[in-house]
Amino acid sequence: MPVVEQGSSRIWHRRTRNESLIRWFGWLLGVAVFVVCWQRISESTTWFFVWDAPRIANDIWTRATPPRWEYITQLGRPIWDTLNIATLGTMISLVLAVPVAFLAARNTTPSKLFIRPIALLVIVSTRSINSLIWALLLIAIIGPGVFAGVIAIAIRSIGFCAKLLYEAIEEIDHAQVEAITATGASRWQVMAYGIVPQILPAFAGIAVFRWDINIRESTVLGLVGAGGIGLQLSSSLNVLAWPQVSLILLVILAAVVISEWVSAKVRGAII
Amino acid sequence: MSHRELDDMLGTAWRKPHFVANPMLRWGLVAGFVAYLIAAFMTIEVDWGRVYEGLDRGAQFVLAFTSPDFVSRAGDIWEGLLESIVMTVAASVVGILISIPIGLGAARNIAPMPIYLICRGIVAISRALQEIIVAILLVAIFGFGPLAGFLTLSFATIGFLSKLLAEDIESMDRVQAEAIKASGARWSQWINYGVQPQVMPRLVGLSMYRIDINFRESAILGLVGAGGIGATLNTAFDRYEYDTAAAILILIIVIVMALEYLSGIIRARVQ
């Protein structure tokens, strides 16, 4: 009853009494959980360092400025590697994601009972593990270098691309598929002429979108040894060469902004 | 394709229309792409001998998934996971609380120009800097431990959530908000009764999604010393203890799946 009688006047309330009680209890529980979490964080923090932080931040800032501009001559190759990791990784992942997406979409999967869950598992498991962890794993398996970065980005992107793509496949217009089927087309011909033209714009959009994200991710893959500009970043950090670190951060920032701009332009042209 | 009469086209075979209509642009894109691919493949150095040697270890790792070892490092895994969860919860709460006022400020139809510019600036900075890079800087400033991870995730949450919240507020229905204003509501009442109910479902959905992302990110912050399960995972890889690493990865995947399932239920309920 959202209207409460108080004496002779009737006052409107947004919620009934029970609803507000449940809400208050929920908030109380939430605050309690947060306080417990905060306590754990605070226990494992050395507070002396935190009170000291402004001085340290100021110290790092004075060391890092101005950036060492001459160092940019050594960054050409790492940037090229970063671009390659992102681009080749995206391409490999798209090649792998297309069959997974067709197996995962409800209207194209050969078997809803057996194959679809496997495809969904592939999507979830590749998506939920960060590319840095994939890189860590691949470095242990195939050794450090650009190749490990390419494969790490490729595996990480399968889930993302396949998920968006299978959602696009599930939303296609069925009438077109039926029209192609009615001409006597085989299963593959139906796919090529009935389904693929409908999802092609979505596919191109997903590819560019993921490429943009991959540029961001590949800039830091070098921190674990998988090639690219992150390698320079981690070696500069290790020798505390802060002017180089600040230059590398500026370059990464520029790369991220440019890739976002390119992807926005291309997606704008497609859609 | 220009319009032609049906009579002209009778007898000629149908040809599939191309995705990029302009032939110059199409062949230019193809040629540029092929040239890039050749250049990229020329510069990637793959040590196939090393890859071949590593395949053995790769097979071992895949096999480790069939017999993950949850027991022998149970203490470390539990500690790391708990720290990751604690960081995720605390950072999500703080991040969401801060991103609501910033989201309000970054919506053009609510905020005056100077506040709009400041809030958009904060969003842009937070989105351009990557989690792992922010984490490196914060670890350098605040010292090792979950506090740096907590601050990193909060900072990243602000950029993500404020931007999407602001976009949602900008596309809200003006009529409802105006009706509340016409009843003589104060500014706070106007936000609370006119704007908030319209954006709440999406805000809850986005918050759940961000919690999911925060947990995934918290799994890698340990690589740079910002607390969480990442440090344990890194150690497991370094010591080639694939069964422990597999156990950790399985736990991460299971938690992410559970979070996704939970957020699906919650989103279905609020919408």
- Residue B188 and residue B242 in one domain: yes
Domain of B158, CATH number, reads 1.10.3720.10
- For residue B4, the model assigns a pLDDT of 63
Q: Do B181 and B262 belong together in one domain? A: yes
**B38 and B83 inside one domain:** no
Q: Which residues in B lie closer than 8 A to residue A233 (C-beta atoms)?
A: 133
Nearest CA in chain B to A217: B130
pLDDT, tens digit (0-9, with 9 covering 90-100), for A132-179: 888 888 888 888 888 889 999 999 999 999 999 998 998 888 898 899
Spell out the domains of chain A, with CATH numbers in brackets: 3-63 (no CATH), 74-270 (1.10.3720.10)
Residue B130 burial (CB count, 10 A): 20
B248 and B185 belong to one structural domain: yes
- Please tell me the predicted confidence (pLDDT) of residue B60: 81
User: ipTM of the assembly?
Assistant: 0.80
List the single residue in A34, A41, A143 with the smallest CB-CB distance to B47: A143
Please indicate, yes or no, whether residues B219 and B254 belong to a single structural domain of this protein: yes
Are B155 and B176 part of one and the same domain?
Answer: yes
Count the residues in chain A: 271
Q: Are A180 and A194 in contact (CB under 8 A)?
A: yes
Q: Show which of B6, B36, B64 is a domain's final residue.
A: B64
Domain that holds residue B252: 72-270
* Last residue of one domain, picked from the residues B26, B48, B64: B64
Of A41, A46, A256, the CB nearest to B90: A41
Residue B10 lies in a domain: no
Distances (CA, A) of A123 to A126, A187, A204, B62: 6, 24, 19, 17
Interface check for A257 against chain B (CB to CB < 8 A): the answer is: yes
Q: Which residues of B touch A40 (CB under 8 A)?
A: 82-83, 86, 146
Q: Which helix (H) or strand (E) holds A10?
A: strand A9-12
What does the alpha-carbon distance between residue B47 and residue A142 come to, in Å, rounded to a whole number?
9
B37 and B159 co-located in one domain: no
Q: Which of B40, B57, B234 lies nearest to residue A84, judging by beta carbons?
A: B40
Question: Are B87 and B27 contained in the same domain?
Answer: no
* CB atoms near residue A11 (< 10 Å): 9
Amino acid identity of residue B186, one-letter, is R
Model pLDDT for residues A230-254, shown as the tens digit of each residue: 888 888 888 888 888 899 988 988 8
Chains A and B form CB pairs within 8 A to the count of: 142
Express each pLDDT in A189-222 by its tens digit: 888 888 888 888 889 889 998 998 899 889 888 8
Phi and psi torsions of A3, nearest 5°: -105, 120
Task: Establish if B5 belongs to a structural domain.
Answer: no
The rounded distance, in Å, linking the Cα atoms of A64 and A72 is: 15
* B252 and B143 part of one domain: yes
Please tell me the total count of domains within chain B. 2
**Does residue B18 come out as left (phi exceeding 0), alpha (psi in the -120 to 50 range) or beta?**
beta
Instruction: Please report whether residue B4 resides in a domain.
Output: no
Residue B154 lies in a domain: yes
- pTM of the predicted structure, to 2 decimals: 0.83
Q: Which of B34, B64, B94 is the last residue of a domain?
A: B64
- The answer to whether residues B56 and B108 belong to one domain is no
B86 and B181 housed in the same domain: yes
**CA nearest B147: which of A216, A212, A48?**
A48
**Cβ neighbours around A166 below 10 Å, total:** 27
CA distance A153 to A165: 18
- Do B25 and B104 fall into the same domain? no
Q: Cβ(B109)–Cβ(B169) under 8 Å?
A: yes
Q: For chain A, what is the mean pLDDT?
A: 87
In a domain, B236, yes or no: yes
Task: Quickly state the pLDDT bin for A271 (edges 50, 70, 90).
Answer: low
- Angstroms from A71 CA to nearest CA on chain B: 20
In contact, B205 and B264? CB cutoff 8 Å: no
- The residue ranges of chain B whose pLDDT is under 50 are 1
The H or E element that residue A60 is part of is helix A53-64
| Coil, helix or strand at residue B49 | helix
Cis peptide before A67 (omega within 30 of 0): no
